[in-house]
Amino acid sequence: MFNLLAQVPALVRRSPIESAIIAVLIVVLSYVIVPLTAGAKAKEPSEDRSVALAVAAMQNETVPFGHLPVSKVGGPFYVKVVTASAYNSIEAQTDSTPFITASGTTVRHGVIAANFLPIGTQVTIPDYYGDQIFVVEDRMNARYTNNVDIWMENIADAKRFGRRSVKIHIYTGR
């Protein structure tokens, strides 16, 4: 008999591409196997939405949004003091694709660049932005190790922000 738990260590050692392919296969198989099972109930709309969101996440698609969500967790994973600056979508401050982040998404309000945090990490900067959530989606020049760079639409706003020491709250696993 096939024991799935015995296969877990082998799954963990796979490359990200192999893991993504396995995830897609699991989603596809769930659409084939679930209707074939006896007494399968009708899918609820929320299940279809969950699968669509999972597929969109695997394809690194983004959806437009209005205001950034307010943090709903009790507290940060940890707090760190870093140097913060601001950047704009101009080639002098970025690379030859100034509107595309290192993670492949489009720049927008709420995007920050940081080299010391994994892509997708959520942070808040409570002293300046309250409970607004920022997401690490971009990288900085390698010489910046303990910095965050906040994307801003207007050059004047970025110049006004300048460089300053800020306390950031870092959240993981949300």
Residue 163's pLDDT is 94
Please spell the DSSP secondary structure of 40-109, one letter per residue.
PPPPPHHHHHHHHHHHHHHTT-----SSPPBP-SSS-SEEEEEEEEEE-S-TTTS-S-TTB-TTSPBP-T
pLDDT in tens, 121-139: 999 999 999 989 999 998 8
Per-residue pLDDT at 16 exceeds 60: yes
Going from N- to C-terminal start, the domains of the chain cover 4-58, 78-171
Higher pLDDT, 1 or 46: 46
Angle between helices 45-58 and 16-36 (to 10 degrees): 160
Percent of the chain whose predicted confidence (pLDDT) is above 90? 24
More confident residue, 80 or 54: 80
Looking at the predicted structure, is the pLDDT value of residue 53 above 70?
no
Fold (topology level) of 78-171: Barwin-like endoglucanases (2.40.40)
Which tokens belong to 84?
């913060």
Q: What is the pTM of this model?
A: 0.54
